Chains A and B, each alone.
Chain A
Amino acid sequence: MGTNVLGPQKKMIGGMRSRYGDQTLAAWLILPSILVIGGLLIYPLLYNIFISLHDFDLKRLYLGTPFIGLKNYISALTSNYFWSAVGRTLYFTIASVGIELILGIMIALVLNRDFWGRDFVRSILLLPWAIPTVVNGIMWKWIYNSNYGALNGILKQLGLIHSYQNWLGHPITAMNMVILADVWKTTPFVAIMILAALQTIPDSLYEAAQIDGAGPWQAFQHLTLRLIRPSILVVLVIRTMEAFRVFDIIYIITRGGPADGTQVITYFTYNETFNNLNFGLGASLAYLTSLVILVMALIYMKLLRSESNY
């Protein structure tokens, strides 16, 4: 009975196959995605190059949009605003990723131990990471509030400060406060990635190390750190690129202020494009940023490749 049912089906399928070969069908099914990716990714990328080579300033459209070669790139690279924004971005990236990595590894090591309530701690650890960046930004903005903020309240009650501080009122402290907010949100991600790597290390290796006379620090240094190095690299790649493109948390907490103290490269680009309406300069800035990230990606990829050989 079963074969009776299957028989005609098979024939029909054979017919379908000759009319629509696997390749053709696949092409048709992929076509919509190609159209979407082409329209949303490739076309804008190419158009962006076009804009970046023209004097595309909406405030001066009466001058038209003449081709000006690399002038936008040159004016970006010779602008003080640009280089100080790059400096701030590097500071943000190095500080936030560095702290996140150290904290993340420490947390992962603790969570890799056996203790009562470990599963519970592991799941609430993910909470900050699950909070959308915008919500996180608004939350920290309130925590830092100089009149009603929780940070001031706690520090004062602990006697660590004698009067309420204006955390976001000074360019340098404001930047550090934004970094703290970012660290709070993203450390769990690092911790979970490292934790996953830690769990792949078999206990027997530690036993062997112990028998060979290695102390806990030596075991960590020569065994744990070595074995989780690929994961650390992956986290580093993802996090540096993300941190270099940081925008939303700054937009919410400080809007680039005070006195441009938190004006990172993406915020600078956004300002030039959507506030000053200089789309040409904005496009070239976007490409310069992409270039830096591309270089970073290439370096990391090389590192990762040599890592996998090891």
Chain B
Amino acid sequence: MVSVSLSGRTANKPTVKPTSTGGKAMRRPGFGWKAKLLVLISVVFASTLLADGSLAAAKKITVLCESDFLDFRMETAKMFEQRTGIDVEIIPVAYDNLYNKIVASAASGEAAYDVFPLDLIWTAQFAVSGFVEDITNRVPEQMREELVKASLDGVSYKGRIWGLPIHNNAKFFLYNERILKEIGAAPPKTWDELVSISKRLQQAGKVKYGTIWGWSQSEGLVCDYVMLTAAFGGRLFSADGDPIMNTGGALKALEFMVDSIYKDKISDPASITVGDRDMLNAFMQGDVAFITNWSYAWKEVNDPAKSRVAGDIRIGLIPGSENTKSGTVMGCFGFAIAKNSKNKDAAWEYLKFLTSKDVQKLYASKYGSLPVWQPLYNDPELVNKVPAIAQYGEQMKYGANRPSLTWYSEFSRVMQIELQNALTQKKSPKKAMDDAVAALKALKAKYEK
């Protein structure tokens, strides 16, 4: 408005002689006015930033978490806010993106998150890198005794505790009972049986493929390999900690994986490109009869809004081999306090709250998670509500852990590449695992001097 009337006046005044000064005179007041406004705006902006920061520090914590079990996280965040008056901001991301987010936040001086997840494979690395707060002194003695040992081990490194376990996890075997009944088959007890049943199902046109896996180049591939190695009675590392996956059951496991795609053709070839969350889609469409997946999957496959097979699915023991009954991989998850957090006490309250027995009961009964307290597995009320909890307990007896290494991420990367070299038939399983062993030996020499 102002500039319009001014320029109008200049145009109507031919008497103003030098147009250049006239122009300047016109612009100058605007300039000063704008500069002042600019300063004002920046001052206001800066002060709101400061005020926001100092207020937020008092009673708000930011929690990074994986997007599985999101409903549970929102519900408990609300409960926690009501009980303590501390606001919780939940930032959910897909599992595969968690690690990068944590590292980016922890490696910088400023904490983007006060609390973040601690997968058991990260504990050693985060502890050594100084990303997480040592909470050993905060954890009471009684808690240490009653927690499931595997869960507590998952958040411990070198005798110190770096986080509190939030849920236990392991891979479980899910099968479509309706489809199996149609051809009169019983759930398989060994992987060989699974292959032959799958072939029958495929021939009868009941399914596209017997099974599908999440074998894209990601951590899920390593998990499945550890699981199958356990099921085939093998080991990745010798008792002395030397890599030995080029021999015995570990090699057999990889041979099984490759054969299931190319020789027996019972695994969907898409397995090489999908992650262990995406693969659930094929199962929920009824395109495959068997899968293994983490505990969160139970609720997903039984959700009629997402799944066409809701109600047809049963949990069984993961198949074994000649000399093993079963085998699975453990995936205990905890929460840790960021070393660079400014709200450590509030964060600790949140951790304690999530681990507390009543929250764990809610988590197990309503959301199908596995509690971190040993006594809860025999809790009559819980077993009554969630009969599957007994089956979960049985499966976890055959659990194998991924190695606890400060250089786990490099281990995982080598394994992902070499497993995929075999799965895409760039190398034979034996050659791929020989190369993995050579690469891992070099890494071990570098990091474990």
Contact = CB atoms under 8 A, between A and B. Distances in A.
Interface of A: 2-3, 6, 9-10, 13, 16, 25, 29, 32, 58-62, 145-147, 166, 168-171, 174, 254-261, 271, 274-277, 279
Nearest to A257: B217
B216 A255 contact: yes
B128 A276 contact: no
Nearest to A165: B269
A257 B406 CA distance: 24
B429 to A, nearest CB: 13
A2 B420 CA distance: 82
Contacts of B16: 2, 6
A261 B217 CA distance: 10
Contacts of A6: 16, 25
A166 to B, nearest CB: 4
Contact of B413 (A10, A145, A276): A276
B216 A145 contact: no
B87 interface: no
A29 B34 CA distance: 11
B410 interface: yes
B417 A60 contact: no
A6 B21 CA distance: 12
A61 B424 contact: no
Given A6-B25, A58-B107, A170-B424, A32 B42 contact: yes
Chain B interface main SS type: helix
B25 A61 contact: no
Given A259-B217, A275-B409, A276-B410, A59 B424 contact: no
Interface string B27-42: 0110010010010001
B9 A2 contact: yes
Interface stretch (B96-104, B175-183, B330-338): B96-104
B130 interface: yes
A147 B282 contact: yes
Given A255-B217, A257-B216, A146 B423 contact: no
B407 interface: yes
B385 interface: no
Contacts of A62: 128
B37 to A, nearest CB: 12
Nearest to A174: B273
B25 A277 contact: no
Contacts of B7: none
B103 A277 contact: yes
B302 interface: no
Contacts of B406: 59-60
B407 A59 contact: yes
A258 B233 CA distance: 27
